[in-house]
């Protein structure tokens, strides 16, 4: 089983936290790092090879892709945006699982017609990444609720943007105490889940472990 993982880049290097490839390997799958090349051939071939996809964190999505001017967005990489949007749609058509993390959830929303808040306050913690700092509430009758097994959980938080208008055919599966969308999922796909927090930094702890275990189980 090959799990694609999107990665960040600058002018010279590609990079990603080691946590995501490590958690994939520990669960018996093989991670493939995916540079953001906006090529139809590349997207088609990668989609066919992959068993599933993890959309990792990174810079902000280009606001032009959801019909807005840039007011607060930063670290934009339009080529990565376009690549990931094409890849998301290809994985959807092939009915393959996608787990979208932080920026990943935001680009997932934009890919299907949703919009974003370009800046919010109070959601970028100073504490270490493996420390939870606020509570979110999960909605019953959602896939995420069934996976986690309870109606609330404490999470970490490292984002200044958030889902605004949720894309058609998606539903909100988790919200923060101040009403920010913390999780979303497609209503007609076996596993198309986005989370705004970073579960990879706590993937060996409950309930975060359940999320990655469920993702890998779907691949099998």
Query: Is 204 among the residues known to form the active site?
Result: no
Rounded mean pLDDT of 3-12?
88
Query: Is 198 among the residues known to form the active site?
Result: yes
What is the torsional sign of CA 176, 180, 184, 187? positive
User: CA-to-CA distance for 145 and 153, rounded, in angstroms?
Assistant: 10
User: CA-to-CA distance for 159 and 207, rounded, in angstroms?
Assistant: 21
Place of tokens 């993890």: 54
- Spot the catalytic one: 84, 182, 185, 200: 200
Above 90 in pLDDT, residue 21? yes
User: CA-to-CA distance for 104 and 89, rounded, in angstroms?
Assistant: 13
- Spot the catalytic one: 84, 102, 123, 203: 102
- Which residues span the domain enclosing 26? 2-219
Supply the pLDDT for residue 17.
87
Mean pLDDT of the chain: 94
Supply the pLDDT for residue 104.
97
User: CA-to-CA distance for 19 and 4, rounded, in angstroms?
Assistant: 14
Supply the pLDDT for residue 220.
85
Q: What is the CATH number of the domain that holds 83?
A: 3.40.50.880
Supply the pLDDT for residue 55.
97
Q: Give me 108's structure tokens.
A: 């997932």
Q: Which residue has the higher pLDDT, 11 or 47?
A: 47
Rounded mean pLDDT of 50-72?
96
pLDDT digits 0-9 by tens, 104-162: 999 999 999 999 999 998 888 899 989 899 999 999 999 999 999 999 999 999 999 99
Supply the pLDDT for residue 38.
79
Query: Is 200 among the residues known to form the active site?
Result: yes
pLDDT digits 0-9 by tens, 66-113: 999 999 999 999 999 999 999 999 999 999 999 999 999 999 999 999
- Cis preceding linkage at 79, omega within 30: no
Supply the pLDDT for residue 52.
97
Q: What is the number of structural domains in the chain? A: 1
- Spot the catalytic one: 123, 159, 186, 198: 198
pLDDT digits 0-9 by tens, 170-185: 999 999 999 999 999 9
Supply the pLDDT for residue 62.
97
């Amino acid at each position: 089983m090959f799990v694609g993982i999107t990665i960040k880049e600058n002018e010279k290097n590609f990079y990603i936290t080691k946590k995501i490839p490590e958690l994939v390997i520990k669960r018996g799958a093989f991670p493939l790092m995916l540079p953001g090349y906006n090529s139809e051939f590349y997207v088609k071939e990668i989609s066919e090879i992959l068993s599933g996809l993890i959309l990792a964190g990174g810079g902000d999505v280009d606001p032009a892709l959801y019909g807005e001017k840039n007011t607060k967005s930063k670290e934009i990489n339009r080529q990565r945006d376009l690549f990931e949007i094409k890849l998301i749609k290809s994985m959807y058509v092939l009915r393959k699982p996608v787990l979208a993390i932080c920026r990943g959830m935001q680009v997932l929303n934009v890919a299907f017609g949703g919009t974003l808040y370009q800046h919010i306050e109070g959601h970028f913690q100073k504490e270490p990444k493996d420390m939870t700092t606020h509570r979110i509430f999960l909605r019953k009758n959602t896939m995420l609720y069934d996976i986690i097994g309870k109606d609330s959980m404490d999470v970490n938080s490292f984002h200044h943007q958030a889902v605004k208008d949720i894309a058609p055919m998606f539903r909100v599966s988790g919200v923060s105490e101040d009403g920010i969308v913390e999780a979303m999922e497609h209503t007609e796909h076996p596993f198309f889940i986005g989370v705004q927090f970073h579960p990879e930094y706590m993937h060996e702890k409950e309930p975060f472990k359940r999320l990655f275990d469920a993702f890998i189980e779907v691949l099998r």
